[in-house]
């Protein structure tokens, strides 16, 4: 289910003294099964952009199509069955008495049978790495990381072919963040669904994404692989971003060890490069 955006402009508070173009003539294509990351400083337009991908907001000009379906049309209910969206702090939307009921809520609204709901809830729980034993617990008894996974499971249970995650690890400790990204990566690998990740974590973006789009001032400023994007540290810093911390460390090490490769963007790559050098 590919996504295309053609010359998309979105204007907040149009016609008022506070009118502002949050997106300016943005065009892009996202392929089936792609893991795409969108990065940019606060106010760059990245969250506004992804909200167009399930018709939550509609372009002021231009158009967005999901598998040929124009999001300005009337087929949004069907579209949203295939496009799941996880906002920042999704656990704030938990409200049911039990974890099971919270995950099942969307499925019930879509008219699934009781047997189908039970099967899909258990599959979603397994996907996000939650033990079945917590299904009867109140979601408010859980840890922050568990709540986050329960909230995401409610979206995953709908079997979307496209999953959009807007800062899915915001506010989590390092362990909780790693757990969330592990199951997101596993889900992409095993189910081959399209993942669109908005994140401020350059390290996680470099490690996970196949392609990165850099937003600045409502426009696509750069796009490419992690290597292509994070190699140009000066350009990123010009728009208020930075390369992963490990990249800066490797560049400092290279000043001492000239033969060291400093085009490194993940801790795993740095480890391999340092071990390779030490074995010489």
Q: For residue 34, what is the domain's CATH number?
A: 3.40.50.300
**Does residue 95 fall inside a structural domain?**
yes
**pLDDT of 1 higher than 80:** no
**Does residue 147 fall inside a structural domain?**
yes
- Using pLDDT thresholds of 50, 70 and 90, give the confidence band for residue 92: confident
48-52, 90-94, 128-132, 239-243: lowest mean pLDDT where? Answer: 90-94
**Does residue 245 fall inside a structural domain?**
no
CB 162 within 8 A of CB 69: no
- Number of structural domains found in the chain: 1
Rounded average pLDDT over 239-252:
90
Measured between alpha carbons, how far is 126 from 186 in angstroms, rounded to an integer? 11
Which region, left, alpha or beta, applies to residue 67 given φ > 0 means left and ψ of -120 to 50 means alpha? left
**Does residue 203 fall inside a structural domain?**
yes
Rounded average pLDDT over 22-28:
96
Query: According to the model, what pLDDT value does residue 5 have?
Result: 96
Query: According to the model, what pLDDT value does residue 73 have?
Result: 84
- Using pLDDT thresholds of 50, 70 and 90, give the confidence band for residue 123: very high
**pLDDT of 280 higher than 80:** no
* Tokens found for residue 105: 């809520």
**Does residue 134 fall inside a structural domain?**
yes
**Does residue 268 fall inside a structural domain?**
no
- Measured between alpha carbons, how far is residue 98 from residues 101, 104, 132, 138, 233 in Å? 5, 10, 12, 4, 47
> In what side-by-side order are the strands of the sheet with 20-30?
20-30, 3-12, 61-66, 69-70
Query: According to the model, what pLDDT value does residue 235 have?
Result: 92
Measured between alpha carbons, how far is 120 from 109 in angstroms, rounded to an integer? 14
- Looking at every residue in the chain, the average pLDDT score rounds to 90
The reported pTM is: 0.90
- Measured between alpha carbons, how far is residue 180 from residues 92, 118, 127, 191, 215 in Å? 17, 23, 11, 16, 24
Share of the chain above pLDDT 90, in %: 54
Rounded average pLDDT over 119-134:
91
- Using pLDDT thresholds of 50, 70 and 90, give the confidence band for residue 191: confident
Which residue segment(s) compose the domain that 72 sits in? 3-225
Cα 146 vs. chain centroid, distance in angstroms? Answer: 18
- Using pLDDT thresholds of 50, 70 and 90, give the confidence band for residue 219: very high
**pLDDT of 109 higher than 90:** no
**Does residue 137 fall inside a structural domain?**
yes
Which region, left, alpha or beta, applies to residue 7 given φ > 0 means left and ψ of -120 to 50 means alpha? left
**Does residue 165 fall inside a structural domain?**
yes
Rounded average pLDDT over 107-113:
88
Strand duo 162-166 + 219-224: pairing? unpaired
Share of the chain above pLDDT 70, in %: 99
């Amino acid at each position: 289910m590919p996504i295309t955006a053609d010359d998309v402009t979105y204007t907040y508070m149009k016609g008022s003294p506070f009118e502002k173009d949050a997106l300016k003539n943005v065009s892009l294509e996202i392929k089936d099964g792609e893991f795409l990351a969108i990065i940019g400083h606060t106010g760059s337009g990245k969250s506004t952009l992804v909200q167009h991908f399930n018709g939550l907001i509609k372009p002021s000009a231009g158009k967005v199509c999901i598998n040929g379906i124009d999001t300005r049309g009337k087929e949004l209910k069907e579209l949203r069955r295939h496009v799941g969206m996880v906002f920042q702090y999704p656990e704030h939307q938990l409200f049911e008495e039990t974890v099971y009921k919270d995950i099942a809520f969307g499925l019930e609204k879509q008219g699934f049978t009781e047997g189908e709901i039970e099967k899909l809830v258990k599959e979603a729980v397994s996907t996000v790495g939650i033990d079945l034993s917590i299904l009867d617990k109140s979601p408010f008894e859980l840890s922050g990381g568990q709540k986050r996974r329960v909230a995401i499971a409610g979206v995953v249970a709908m079997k979307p072919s496209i999953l959009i995650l807007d800062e899915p690890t915001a506010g989590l400790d390092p362990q909780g963040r790693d757990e969330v990204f592990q199951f997101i990566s596993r889900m992409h690998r095993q189910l081959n669904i399209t993942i669109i990740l908005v994140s401020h974590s350059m390290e996680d973006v470099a490690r996970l994404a196949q392609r990165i789009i850099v937003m600045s001032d409502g426009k696509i400023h750069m796009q490419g692989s992690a290597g292509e994007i994070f190699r140009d540290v000066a350009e990123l810093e010009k728009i208020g971003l930075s390369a992963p911390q490990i990249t800066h460390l490797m560049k400092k090490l290279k000043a001492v060890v000239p033969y060291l490769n400093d085009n490194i963007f993940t801790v795993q790559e740095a480890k391999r490069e340092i071990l390779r050098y030490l074995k010489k």
